[in-house]
A and B are shown apart, each in its own frame.
Chain A
Amino acid sequence: MAKNLRWKVITIVGVLALAVYSFYPPDQKVRLGLDLKGGVQLVLRVQTDDALKLEVQTTSDRLVEQAKTANIPSAVATVNGPTSFTIAGIAPEQDGAFRNLLTEIDLTYDRSPGAGGSYTFTLKPNVVVQLREDTVNQALQTIERRVNELGVAEPIVARHTAADQIIVQLPGVSEVARAKEIIRSTAQLELTLVEQGPFADENAAKAVTGGTVPPDMRVMPGNMSGGVPGQAPTTGYYIVRRVPAVTGRDLRNARPTLDENNRPAVSFSLNQEGARKFGTFTQANIGRMLAVVLDNRVAEAATIQTRIDDEGRITGTFTTQQAQDLSLVLRSGALPANLVYLEERTVGPSLGADSVRAGVLSAAGGLLMVTLFMLVYYKAAGINALVSIAANLIILLGLMAYAGATMTLPGIAGFILTIGMGVDSNVLIFERIKEELGTGKTVKQAVAGGFDRVLLTIVDTHVSSLISAALLFNFGTSAIRGFALTLTIGLLANVFTAYFVSRTMFEATLVGRSPQKLSI
């Protein structure tokens, strides 16, 4: 019996020591949530349709290109929507040659023949799902890189509840507007040839090519040369090649710099593959205009003076800050799709500090009131209860630190409810012991009987509470999760402390003695 008791005490001390070890020192190991630290939480939706459209557009362009080389010049493509396109103008005698081109496309597209030598291609459903999934993951990684470059401590970037949503938490960020802009810049860089322009408006540009734009060209708005840094430049329209020579994927680095007039600019360098392509391209087009296209807008158009291999510079009307931000987003890569903000919650640092104070105050207040009551009502046994509640809170804190969980304001509420539950279990046990004492049992028998009889009740009550805590966790939002997690850990720890710790304490005080009365 005594040996058994020693092992129990060792277990308890060991568990508590581990718990303290894992959360000490608390200011380093317990992570505070945004509501306590201040910062911004954003929920974004990735417009995955954009990525599908791009895939469909590229595929149809490529197919038309291939058809031309296969001597089917009459083939034209129309994009019908984010997941399908139609190729028309295939004469019956060309049908066989055209279908020979389709082996690769048939892997990802369902094909159905239409009237008058046309085919409609639709992305296969599983490919659509996969593409959307890839797009969200790619966006997630890009956002992660950008947030890391922003230099925010302990940011969180993660998939949110719905499939196409991403949640971003930036603790302690004060320049919210700038952070938001950096996160959502698509930063699609293209270097492409200017065919004609600039024109004063879109119609003037179209008029040059006879009202319609040839399929391999695009009319694109852009900045006219000149302008004042930081101010919106005058808009002009350019006719540019649809297929760029080099894109942002070929970038190796980008950094802010100054141009020859000491104005902020962004210089970039290309990787090997990009340098090779760009070298050949500039060599072949000396004397013509090159457009630097950023997010479907011509940021700059300049004449190609000489062959350029791996270095380039974007000048425009940037402020120093804009040049920095642009280099940041270019370095981190383009987003595969546009982002829309769905939710934004900002907590100022002063409010966070106030909340910590309020949370600690109310937890201390709750603990104090409970302590007073337990000591007055249960006398010496009240100490038992308090020790087991304190042990519960220590284990709870330790497990939270160990799991890397975040402490939120609702989480503090979870702590307070854990105190409540700890009291509940102890009261349940003590009242039972009192009852057993009332039936004339000895102190030892009454203690043993009280604990034994209550165990089942404690299990039942904890399981039902765990069910609602689990559903709360599934319910979502990070703050509520913080609450559900604390509650869950608190409930589990409580079974250990209220039953095992409290019982061991009773046994320890009763060992080798047979008192007539119990202070309860």
Chain B
Amino acid sequence: MFQNANYDFIKWRWHAIFLSALVITAGIVFGVTRGVPLGIDFSGGTIVVVKFQAPVSDDQVRQALVNAIPGEQVIQAYGDPSENEKQIRIPQVISEGQGSLDQNANAIIAALRKANLPQFDVRSQDLVGPVIGADLQRRGIYATLLSILGITIYIGLRFRFAFAIGAIAATLHDVLVTFAFLFFFGYDLSLNVIAAILTITGYSVNDTIVIFDRVRENLRKNRKDPLEKIVNDSVNQTLSRTIITAGTTFLAVLALFLFGGEVLHGFAFTMLVGIISGTYSTIFIAAAIAIILSGKQAKGRAAGTRKAS
């Protein structure tokens, strides 16, 4: 696949940056106008998943609950509709010391039992108090930022500064694009989703490092060539690897998305988007930014290597 590939990727760098900026901006606008959809892991609240023995509509469930539980309730099918599973979410948070954590869950189950609905099983219950939610929110943000910082430092040590920035720009790009897609497709930010995003930061940098390693190698071999050519050659030389790896990882995660069940759906979706975005940013964004930052004076010099190495 792609043997002796010779596409001019670098020529498209501004188009690529424009496209990415568009997606990211749309994502930010979405996030700002509609609010970031936090799952209960972060916002606190109650989720009960029940499995009915016969089909039930969301409305029937809503009817059963509307009088028993004040305030907002979100009812949706959980997983495959033929499974008759419903997820009931009550976002409001009980402030500490006022009532017990499980009062909403108990009220939901009691109301469903009383209503004229088919028999059901409680499949799972998640009750998250506000303290834990706020704590996880803080730690989720720290973990993501620290992950990016840690990788920046590592790349900064191993490669030249402009390249470190390129790699980080690509990683940030992937995180933001992934968020944008999560917003578009209405996924709540849960712990699993954040775990997937952290995994993506590692994965995205992997791809980029492979190309940068090659750039470094080619710079030693062909000192005369301009940086644009060297980078473009490197992208082409590693293209089969980039595509094959992305393809197989994509396949493995696709299996998770298709068969992994509802619990891992958000995780798998995030990974799928991240893999595509990671591959794209590796080819179009990381190297492009490194070239732009290296500037014209870098032409013909060992731009990818530190003087010591």
- A475 and B143 in contact, given A45-B131, A419-B252 (Cβ under 8 angstroms): yes
Q: Of the 9-residue stretches A109-117, A229-237, A361-369, which lies at the interface with chain B?
A: A361-369
* B184 surroundings in chain A (CB, below 8 A): none
**Cβ contact of B129, chosen from A343, A361, A377, A467, cutoff 8 A:** A343
Interface string of A458-488 (1 = CB under 8 A from B): 0011011111111110111101100110010
A435 near B237 with CB under 8 A, answer yes
B62 at the interface (CB under 8 A from A): no
Which residue of A354, A365, A465 contacts B206 across the interface (Cβ within 8 Å)?
A: A465
Partner of B256, one of A162, A366, A377: A366
Within 359-411 of A, Cβ neighbours of B (below 8 Å) are at 359, 361-363, 365-367, 369-370, 373-374, 377, 409-410
* B249–chain A nearest beta-carbon distance, Å: 4
In the complex, A480 Cα to B190 Cα: how many Å?
11
> Which of A345, A453, A460 contacts B158 (CB under 8 A)?
A460
- Interface residue B75 (Cβ < 8 Å from any Cβ of A): no
A346 touching B143, Cβ below 8 Å: no
Please list 21 pairs of residues, one from A and one from B, whose beta carbons are closer than 8 Å in the complex, sorted by A's number. Answer: A162-B135, A343-B129, A344-B127, A346-B124, A346-B126, A354-B261, A359-B264, A362-B255, A362-B259, A365-B258, A367-B252, A369-B255, A370-B252, A373-B248, A416-B252, A428-B241, A457-B213, A460-B213, A461-B206, A466-B202, A475-B139
- Knowing A358-B260, A365-B258, A475-B198, say if A464 contacts B127 (CB, 8 Å): no
B73 interface residue, CB < 8 Å from A? Answer: no
The answer to whether the Cβ of B8 comes within 8 Å of any Cβ in the partner chain is no
Please, how many angstroms separate the alpha-carbon atoms of A35 and B252 in the complex? 22
> In the complex the two chains form, is A477's CB within 8 Å of B249's CB?
no
A355–B253 CB distance below 8 A: no
Main DSSP-derived SS at the A contact region: helix
Report whether A348 and B139 are in contact in the complex, using a CB–CB cutoff of 8 Å. Answer: no
Residues of chain B within 8 A of A363, CB atoms compared: 255
Separation of A363 and B254 alpha carbons in the complex (Å): 10
Q: In the complex the two chains form, what is the Cα distance from A457 to B192 in whole Å?
A: 29
Distance from A344 Cβ to chain B, minimum over Cβ atoms (Å): 4
Cα A453 to Cα B199 with chains together (Å): 26
Q: How many residues in A have their beta carbons less than 8 Å from beta carbons of B?
A: 74
Contacts of A346 in B (CB 8 A): 122, 124-126
Distance between A488 CB and nearest chain B CB, rounded to angstroms: 11
Instruction: Fill in one digit per residue for A116-140: 1 if any B CB lies within 8 Å of its CB, else 0.
Output: 0000000000000000000000000
Known: A348-B124, A471-B198. A373 touches B247 (CB 8 A): yes
Q: Are B127 and A476 in contact (CB under 8 A)?
A: no
* B-side contacts of A460, CB under 8 Å: 158, 209, 213
Do A413 and B241 touch (CB < 8 A)?
no
Cross-interface CB contact of A410 among B131, B217, B267, cutoff 8 Å: B267
Q: Which of B112-137 contact A (CB under 8 A)?
A: 121-129, 131-132, 135-136
Residues A413 and B260 in contact in the complex (CB < 8 Å), given A465-B202, A468-B147: yes
Segment of B14-22, B96-104, B223-231 in the binding face = B96-104
